[in-house]
Amino acid sequence: MELERYRRQLAMPEIGPEGQRKLAASSVLVVGAGGLGGPLLYALAGAGVGRLRVVDGDTVSLSNLNRQFLFDQADLGRPKAEGAARRLSAFNRDITVEGAAAWLDQTNGAELVKDCQLAVAAVDNLSARLALNAACARQNIPLVNGGVEGWYGSVLAVEFGVTPCLACCYAGTAPEEGGQALGAVTGAVASLMASVTLQMLLGRNPIPGEILLYDGKRLELDRVPVERSPGCPICGTL
């Protein structure tokens, strides 16, 4: 590990040499390498998270390039997961990056999250969020979830048995049909997600039992309390 690369964050009392060693020893699953996943992955790779597993079954299209900064026009038509792994590995050779060109669902979630300390949902569909939530619950792996629609975004950090899970929060909601996305907003929310992820890897959940809401029009942040559902089929018995 080249400590000079991390000199500015090593100077932070919340990190220091011990925290940097924790990050280097960490393994994180990131589902989604798009508008949220790209800036998030750059932040985690830049901070020296030792192993990143990137899962995305999509290919790069021209309409992605207004906000998905892992890619350029040379990547059009290529798998996002493979492109992300290649770009991040070149960005930081200290770390290991694995790309899995797959859609995470109920059949493969448990295998994809295996051996990871934390998972991040950076996707735009509810079924993938809930499949990852269920897989993480079964293995008691913390989960960071983020979403964006237009000017607005949200971040939730899940510790199973302690905080509400995604099934608690999304029960009864309709499937997502996201279609509005601006790179400046996805980048801002991705940075918040990365900050939460890094703090959790270092041993602190900065938003326990709360959803962090971002208003990109007014440039405001709100923290809204959420409660566990006693009847939740995923975390209700944990």
- How far apart, in whole angstroms, are the C-alpha atoms of residue 117 and residue 114? 9
Nearby residues of 45 by Cβ (< 8 Å), 6 or more positions away: 52, 88, 91, 92, 95, 97
What's the pLDDT score for residue 196?
98
What's the pLDDT score for residue 175?
64
Give the containing element (helix H, strand E) for 30. strand 27-31
What's the pLDDT score for residue 179?
73
What's the pLDDT score for residue 174?
64
What's the pLDDT score for residue 81?
95
Residue 110 dihedral angles phi and psi, to the nearest 5°: -60, -40
pLDDT tens track, the chain, 238 positions: 678 999 999 999 999 999 999 999 999 999 999 999 999 999 999 999 999 999 999 999 998 888 888 888 998 999 999 999 999 999 999 999 999 999 999 999 999 999 999 999 999 999 999 999 999 999 999 999 999 999 999 999 999 999 999 999 987 676 665 678 888 999 999 999 999 999 999 999 999 999 999 999 999 999 999 999 989 999 988 7
Nearby residues of 118 by Cβ (< 8 Å), 6 or more positions away: 26, 28, 29, 141, 142, 143, 144, 197, 200, 201
Q: Which residue has the tokens 């830049």?
A: 46
What's the pLDDT score for residue 177?
59
CA-based R_g, the chain, Å? 17
- How far apart, in whole angstroms, are the C-alpha atoms of residue 136 and residue 141? 5
Nearby residues of 199 by Cβ (< 8 Å), 6 or more positions away: 14, 205, 206
Q: What is the pTM assigned to this prediction?
A: 0.94
- How far apart, in whole angstroms, are the C-alpha atoms of residue 181 and residue 178? 8
- Could you tell me the fold of the domain covering 3-225? Rossmann fold (3.40.50)
What's the pLDDT score for residue 178?
61
Alpha helices in the chain, H assignment, sequence order: 7-10, 16-24, 37-47, 80-91, 109-113, 126-139, 166-170, 183-201
What's the pLDDT score for residue 181?
81
